[in-house]
């Protein structure tokens, strides 16, 4: 049986040393999971370090102490996978982050595309980003990831154009998932690519002017498959295909 995973927001100590888990993560471990002395857990710092820990003490509702038995450093997968996700409708917004995190996204960038039904402005913008970051942490723990995806601030189309130019200038690939693309996903060579950026459009699809701006900046339109995917699930399918085609998996 897999060990329960908890996020440790500090450097994880070396083997044979004691570690103390407090705050919300410890509260969940003690009051929800009901861990007891003698059981084992997995700590992750979200930056590649994991540790198997033997629980030696539990006190109150939010304190757990254990001994680090095996600390491991997991390298970040290559190529780095960046998902530019157009804001889905409210009921699918966090689902998109959940699925992309499960499939291995390293960076998730919320994008206010022209055809997005959702409009993140003011306090709604801050609240939306906070929800996405919380979902990325939750999904990373659930899928036992040692790396928690970075969720960046919301970008407009100009911000995405700048990001595409940066990725391409560094030798990476920027791919637009587009149903009218002539090139297939399987035709792309990922062998020497350090980064891959996927642009996921909204339910209404990418606007022609967005496609023009992105391709002018160096992005390439590709066809992922014969089916037209929902915006919330498209990143997961693209990341799965990347995992197989690039050797990330």
pLDDT at residue number 226: 86
Domain 80-245 class in CATH: alpha beta
Q: Report which of 33, 31, 32, 30 is spatially closest to residue 1, judged by C-alpha positions.
A: 33
pLDDT at residue number 180: 87
Q: What is the mean pLDDT of residues 15-22?
A: 94
Q: For the domain bounded by 5-73, which CATH number is listed? A: 2.40.240.20
Q: How confident is the model at residue 1 (pLDDT cuts 50, 70, 90)?
A: low
Beta strands in the chain (DSSP E): 5-7, 18-22, 40-44, 49-59, 63-73, 80-86, 107-111, 150-151, 173-177, 183-184, 195-200, 220-223
Tell me whether domains 5-73 and 80-245 share a fold: no
State the number of CA atoms in the 13 A half-sphere of 21 facing the CB. 31
Residues of the chain with pLDDT > 90, as a percent, come to 86
Tell me if residue 177 falls in helix, strand or coil: strand
Q: Report which of 11, 80, 100 is spatially closest to residue 48, judged by C-alpha positions.
A: 11
State yes or no: cis peptide before 41, omega within 30 of 0.
no
Q: How far apart are the first and last CA of the chain?
A: 22
User: What's the rounded Cα separation, in Å, for the pair 111 and 12?
Assistant: 34
Q: What is the mean pLDDT of residues 120-125?
A: 90
The mean of the pLDDT values for the chain is 94
Q: What is the mean pLDDT of residues 181-191?
A: 92
Domain boundaries of the chain, sorted by first residue: 5-73, 80-245
Q: Which residues contact 31 (CB under 8 A, 6 or more apart)?
A: 61, 62
Burial class (CB in 10 A: 0-12, 13-18, 19+), 77: middle
Q: Report which of 111, 100, 78, 84 is spatially closest to residue 219, judged by C-alpha positions.
A: 84
Strand 173-177 relative to strand 195-200, pairing? parallel
pLDDT at residue number 113: 95
């Amino acid at each position: 049986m897999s060990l329960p995973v908890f996020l440790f927001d500090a450097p994880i100590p070396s083997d044979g040393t004691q570690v103390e888990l407090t705050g919300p993560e410890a509260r969940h471990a003690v009051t929800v999971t009901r861990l007891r002395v003698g059981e084992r857990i997995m700590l992750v710092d979200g930056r590649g370090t994991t540790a198997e820990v033997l629980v030696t003490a539990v006190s109150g509702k939010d304190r757990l102490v254990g001994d680090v038995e095996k600390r491991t450093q997991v390298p970040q997968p290559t190529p780095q996978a960046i998902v530019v996700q157009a804001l889905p409708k409210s009921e699918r917004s966090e689902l998109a982050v959940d699925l992309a995190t499960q499939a291995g996204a390293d960076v998730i960038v919320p994008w206010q595309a022209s055809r997005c039904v959702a409009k993140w402005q003011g306090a709604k913008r801050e609240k939306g980003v906070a929800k996405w970051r919380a979902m990325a942490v939750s999904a990373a723990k659930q899928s036992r990831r040692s790396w928690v995806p970075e969720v960046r601030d919301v970008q407009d189309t100009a911000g995405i154009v700048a990001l595409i130019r940066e990725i391409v200038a560094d030798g990476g690939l920027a791919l637009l998932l587009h149903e009218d693309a002539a090139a297939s996903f399987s035709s792309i060579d990922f062998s020497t690519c350090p980064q891959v950026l996927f642009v996921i459009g909204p339910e209404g699809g990418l606007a022609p002017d967005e496609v023009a701006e992105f391709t002018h900046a160096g992005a390439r339109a590709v066809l992922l498959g014969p089916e037209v995917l929902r915006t919330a699930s498209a990143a997961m399918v693209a990341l799965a295909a990347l995992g197989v085609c690039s050797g990330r998996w």
